[in-house]
Amino acid sequence: MNIFLRRVDAGVPTTSNGSRGGVPFLGFLSGVMLIVLAQADAQWIADPVIDTRVQKGIDHIYNIEFDAADREFAQIIALRPDHPAGYFFQAMTQWWRILSNFDDESKDEQFYSLIERVVRVCEQRLKRDKNDVTALFFKGGAIGFRGRLRVNRGKWLAAADDGVTALSAIRKAHELDANNTDVLLGIGIYNYYAEVVPTQYPILKPIMLFLPSGNKQKGLDQLEQAAASAKYAKVEAMYFLLQTYFSYEKQYVKALDLALQLHRMYPRNPLFHRMYGRCFVSLGNWKEAHRVFSEVEQKFRNRQQGYDIYDGREAYYYLGRYQFLFGDLNEALRLLYKCDELSRTIDQQGPSGFMSMANLTIGMIYDLQGRRASAQAQYQKVLNMKEYERAHEEARRYLQEPYRR
CA distance linking residue 249 with residue 165, whole number of Å:
29
Q: What pLDDT sits at residue 205? A: 73
CA distance linking residue 89 with residue 57, whole number of Å:
8
Q: What pLDDT sits at residue 178? A: 75
Asked whether 349 and 327 are in contact (CB, 8 A), the reply is no
Q: What pLDDT sits at residue 232? A: 66
CA distance linking residue 313 with residue 324, whole number of Å:
16
Asked whether 182 and 223 are in contact (CB, 8 A), the reply is no
Instruction: DSSP letter for 48, please.
Output: H
SS3 assignment, position 288: helix
Q: What pLDDT sits at residue 46? A: 58
| Start and end residues for every CATH 1.25.40.10 domain found in the chain | 2-10+271-400
Homologous superfamily (CATH) of 2-10+271-400 is Tetratricopeptide repeat domain (1.25.40.10)
SS3 assignment, position 328: coil
Q: What pLDDT sits at residue 198? A: 76
SS3 assignment, position 326: helix
- At CA 203, angle to CA 201 and CA 209, rounded to 5? 95
CA distance linking residue 29 with residue 2, whole number of Å:
32
CA distance linking residue 74 with residue 90, whole number of Å:
8
User: Nearest Cα to 296, choosing from 314, 321, 320, 322?
Assistant: 314
User: Nearest Cα to 40, choosing from 145, 146, 134?
Assistant: 134
Helix residue ranges per DSSP H, 266-371: 270-282, 286-301, 309-326, 329-346, 353-368
Asked whether 39 and 137 are in contact (CB, 8 A), the reply is yes
CA distance linking residue 146 with residue 165, whole number of Å:
11
User: Nearest Cα to 195, choosing from 244, 152, 157?
Assistant: 244
Asked whether 262 and 238 are in contact (CB, 8 A), the reply is yes
Q: Within 13 Å and on the Cβ side, how many CA atoms surround 343?
A: 24
SS3 assignment, position 214: coil
DSSP string, 255-287: HHHHHHHHHHH-TT-HHHHHHHHHHHHHTT-HH
CA distance linking residue 226 with residue 19, whole number of Å:
21
- Residues 6+ positions from 157 with CB-CB distance below 8 Å: none
Instruction: State the pTM of this model.
Output: 0.82
Q: What pLDDT sits at residue 158? A: 87
Q: What pLDDT sits at residue 241? A: 94
Q: What pLDDT sits at residue 69? A: 96
**In b/e form, how buried is each residue of 160-177, taking b as 16+ CB within 10 angstroms?**
bebbebbbebbbebbeeb
Q: What pLDDT sits at residue 237? A: 87
| CATH number for the domain formed by residue range(s) 20-232 | 1.25.40
Q: What are phi and psi of 401, to 5 degrees?
A: -140, 130
The segments of the chain whose pLDDT lies below 50 read: 1-11, 13-43
